[in-house]
Amino acid sequence: MASIHVPTPPRMRWSLAPDEFEPYVVRQLEAFTVPGRTPYSGTSVQRHLPATLSRVARCFSEIRRKYFFDGIHTLFDHRHGDHWAMFLYFLSNTVHREGGDPDLAASLFLLNKALHGCDLYYAVRLPDIFLLIHPLGTVLGNASYGDYFVAYQNCGVGAVEDGTYPTFAGENVLFARSAVLGACNVGRNVIVGANAFLLNTDVPDDRVVVGQYPSQRILPASGTVLERLFR
C-alpha cells in the first residue's frame, strides 16, 4: 500500500504516523460491524486520508487551547476524544465530498456517534476551522456555519417544522446545553451562553445571549472568540 504524504504546518506533532491512521480506523469500524460482513477495505479508507489529514492540520493549526497547542507545537492526539471526534467528522465528510463509498461515510458517522455521543452527520458542512469541546450529546444539524465555530457538550443546532436552519456568521461559541433552532441569523463574535435557547431570533455582531426564548437577553460582548480560543 502506498505511503501517505500529508503537507502539514511546521511545528505540528501527530501521535500517529500518516500510515497508522488507516489500520486504526478500520479496526474501530470492524468493532462495530457484524463479524465476517465488514464492507470496508483498507484502500477505501486510505485514499481519503491525504485530504482528511490536510483538513485536520489546517483546522488544528488555528486553535490555541490546552491539548491542541503547547505554546510551540500544534498537537494531534488520537487518544484525545475531542481530537478523534473532529478527525472522524473530517474523514466521513471527506469521503462524502470526494464521492466515496456512502456506506463508509455513514459508518464513520455512526462510529463517531458511538464513541463520542456526537451526532454530526457526514453531509453537514462545518467550516474549515471549528472546535468541539467534549461534545457528548451534541447534535449539529444542517445549518450554515462560519469559520471559528465552537460547540461544547450537549448543544443543539437544528430546524423547526418548516425545515429552516440557523445561519452562523463565524466566531461563534455555543456553551453547554445551549440550543439554536430555526430561522436564527447569528452574527459574528456571538456567544450563546450555557443553557441558553434561541428560536427564530436574529442576533447582531458582538453579543452574548443568556436565558431562553422568548425571554432571552442579548448583551454586549467583552472580548472576542478569536482572542479566547484561536490564533
pLDDT tens column, 217-228: 999 999 999 999
**Percent of the chain at pLDDT above 70?**
93
pLDDT tens, position by position, 182-206:
999 999 999 999 999 999 999 999 9
Contact between 175 and 154 under an 8 Å Cβ cutoff? The reply is no
Question: Pick from 132, 95, 99, 131: which is nearest to 115 by CA?
Answer: 132
All domains in the chain, ordered by first residue: 12-116 (no CATH), 130-229 (2.160.10.10)
Average pLDDT over residues 152-177: 97
**Percent of the chain at pLDDT above 90?**
86
pLDDT band with cut points at 50, 70 and 90 for residue 6 = low
Average pLDDT over residues 40-49: 83
Q: What is the CA radius of gyration of the chain?
A: 18
Q: What pLDDT does 11 receive?
A: 86
Over 60: is that where the pLDDT of 2 sits?
no
Question: Pick from 55, 57, 46: which is nearest to 1 by CA?
Answer: 46
Q: What pLDDT does 43 receive?
A: 74
Q: What pLDDT does 168 receive?
A: 98
pLDDT tens, position by position, 127-150:
999 999 999 999 999 999 999 999
Q: What pLDDT does 32 receive?
A: 84
Average pLDDT over residues 58-87: 96
Q: What pLDDT does 178 receive?
A: 98
> What count of residues does the chain have?
231
Cα separation of the two ends of the chain: 37
* Cell of residue 158, nine digits: 437544528
Q: What pLDDT does 1 receive?
A: 46
Q: What pLDDT does 36 receive?
A: 64
Over 70: is that where the pLDDT of 110 sits?
yes
Over 70: is that where the pLDDT of 5 sits?
no
Q: What pLDDT does 7 receive?
A: 60
Q: What pLDDT does 33 receive?
A: 76
pLDDT tens, position by position, 12-24:
999 999 999 999 9
